[in-house]
Amino acid sequence: MSVALGTTRPLPVRTTHVGDPGDLLAALPRTAPYAWIRNGEGLVGWGEAARVAVPPGPGRFAWARQWLATVFGEAQVDDAVRTPGSGAVAFGSFTFDQDSHGSVLVVPRAVLARRGGHAWLTTIGEAPLERFTPVRDPGRISYGDGSLSAPEWEHIVARAAKRIREGELEKVVLARDLVATAERPIDVRLLLDRLARRYPECYTFSVAGLVGATPELLIRRTGQEIESLVLAGTTPRGTGPADDLARGAALFASTKDRHEHECAIASVRQTLAPLCSSLTTPDEPELLVLPNVQHLASHVTGRLADGASVLDVVAAMHPTAAVGGTPTSTAIQVIRELEGMDRSGYAGPVGWIDVHGDGEWGIALRSGLVQGRRARLFAGGGIMGDSDPAAELAEAQAKFRVMQYALEG
């Protein structure tokens, strides 16, 4: 059911404790699954009590918060759990570019959640009756070029690096897409299960056809406390333990990657400082090792000064330098000029928010848009003045492997 701003009806919301449900993803019916899972914990949802397409434009986050305030404000909530993620919850996905269509907020009819040894179920109205069908493999997968071929993408990387050397900007993040076509309709539940098992440290998500496993936590709000994980600087995994260690050491010592990471941290610090009474950023990044790549990573923590909701913080932070560039406005213009495609929800904020303004939002990396037998996969990387187009292409191809594994197994 689509619900427009100003025409909502009160939502009867009930949250109760339940026993350990086991695998949360196994509870999902086939239709329109919603998910946010890490290390077996998080939230899954199905059905739609309310849904809205968020209009594009610079005021889209404010519009979204107003819509949520109306829907949540009129909800009749009976919440026996009273923890972040209980009561009314909305899942959301926002496009990378504020001027693109495709941002959406959905309040599921049912949300099953587990965190810290507790599990709960939220239902809106009568318990939704959904038909649970066996998960089906999509069969053989074939791939084709997306908006640009590999040589064309290398060419735009070279053009971007030249503009950086000429002083127009410090960094720009360029993305590319790959089209996957399956023999049979793609079951999102199968992708979620494979991603959650192979990448348990990532945030496995599903919102309105956008599916992926992102390592990057844009923001988590729990009361006044906030946390962010900044990733910038990447290298593929090695062919063996010794090669792996060497690649990690080279990444940590790389002037290009360290500068890219410093740009990302500076962007987050500059954005969050006005919202926070306290903010802590590390002096040195650490190495985050995932099954397919290694990243330079920094944990950022803080305390909000004025009680802003998680969506307010998302609005202030997006786009970060890690997915846009530095300076942001120039980088966004260069992306629009060079990339030759609409990123849709890729590299945009994805996550959930509850009735109290708590929630978790990531950056939709390592992801794809799934529709029927077709999936549009995305990957990208930070371009600096000394970037090598062939190396950047190899990095993007390594990142594609996350969703290729989800499709192929």
- Tens of pLDDT, residue by residue over 237-274, are 888 999 999 999 999 999 988 988 888 898 889 899 99
Catalytic residues: 171, 216
> Which stretch of DSSP H or E encloses residue 247?
helix 241-253
Residue 303, classified by CB atoms within 10 Å of its CB into exposed (0-12), middle (13-18) or buried (19+), is: middle
- pLDDT for residue 211: 98
Q: How far is the C-alpha of 176 from the C-alpha of 145, rounded, in Å?
A: 9
Q: How far is the C-alpha of 347 from the C-alpha of 362, rounded, in Å?
A: 9
In 3D space, the residue among 173, 182, 94, 226 whose CA is nearest the CA of residue 404 turns out to be 182
**pLDDT tier for residue 29 given thresholds of 50, 70 and 90:** confident
Share of the chain above pLDDT 70, in %: 97
Q: Is the pLDDT of residue 32 over 70?
A: yes
Cis omega (within 30 of 0) on the bond before 327? yes
**pLDDT tier for residue 126 given thresholds of 50, 70 and 90:** confident
**pLDDT tier for residue 286 given thresholds of 50, 70 and 90:** very high
DSSP character for 150?
Answer: H
Lowest mean pLDDT, pick from 139-143, 152-156, 260-264, 376-380: 260-264
- What angle in degrees, to the nearest 10, is found between the helix axes of 389-408 and 150-165? 140
Q: How far is the C-alpha of 14 from the C-alpha of 125, rounded, in Å?
A: 8
**pLDDT tier for residue 1 given thresholds of 50, 70 and 90:** very low
